[in-house]
Copies of this chain bind each other. A is one copy, B any other.
């Protein structure tokens, strides 16, 4: 058998587009994917587990990792850091597992800088009208917030060019199937596999 490295897949897209739903359905279908575990400085909540829900670190530890460039991306929310530790992703990939990371657009761009070998998938709403109604239907946002988020989405969609694939989330099932086909076909790319196949064929000659 060919020993192949895993691949980092990054799913991103504007807020409200349905990244979380797509990720959830994908994981229900494809159990061999590893979900990238985030690191945080916030307190562990009851029932949460180190290395399952998050890697929990002190603020000093987190800032040390930032300085050492050991995070694929990080951000600060409400006075706490959240980030993606590079080491976990690299270990999984070396062991042959695909890692899946669902993340906001700005975070994905940071990941791309620190891990250009990843495969970047942009999830797109069928239209801005549709995105608007999804945000409004959550019911929690004022009209002003909705407008701000739509403007942010428009700006984020301009960032699409940093991505490898674009998937329209017009239908969850269809979108997940598309992401699955991306995962499969990326493993078939010649530059990933040709060397190993050539070796395999040489062995067969003896």
Contacts and interface: CB of A to CB of B under 8 A. Distances in A.
B178 A188 contact: yes
Contacts of A200: 127
A175 to B, nearest CB: 10
Given A124-B197, A127-B200, A157-B201, A165 B188 contact: yes
Contacts of A198: 157-158, 160
Main secondary structure of the interface of A (DSSP, over half): helix
A75 interface: no
Interface in A167-206: 167-168, 177-178, 180-182, 184-186, 188-190, 193-194, 197-198, 200-201, 204-205
A11 to B, nearest CB: 12
B190 A122 contact: yes
Contacts of A178: 184-185, 188
Contacts of A194: 160-161, 166
Given A124-B197, A204-B127, A189 B161 contact: no
A124, A166, A185, A204 — which one has the most chain B CB atoms within 10 A of its CB? A185
A12 to B, nearest CB: 12
Interface residues of A, number: 35
A190 to B, nearest CB: 5
A154 B201 contact: yes
A128 B205 contact: yes
A164 interface: yes
B166 A197 contact: yes
A88 B122 CA distance: 34
Interface string A4-33: 000000000000000000000000000000
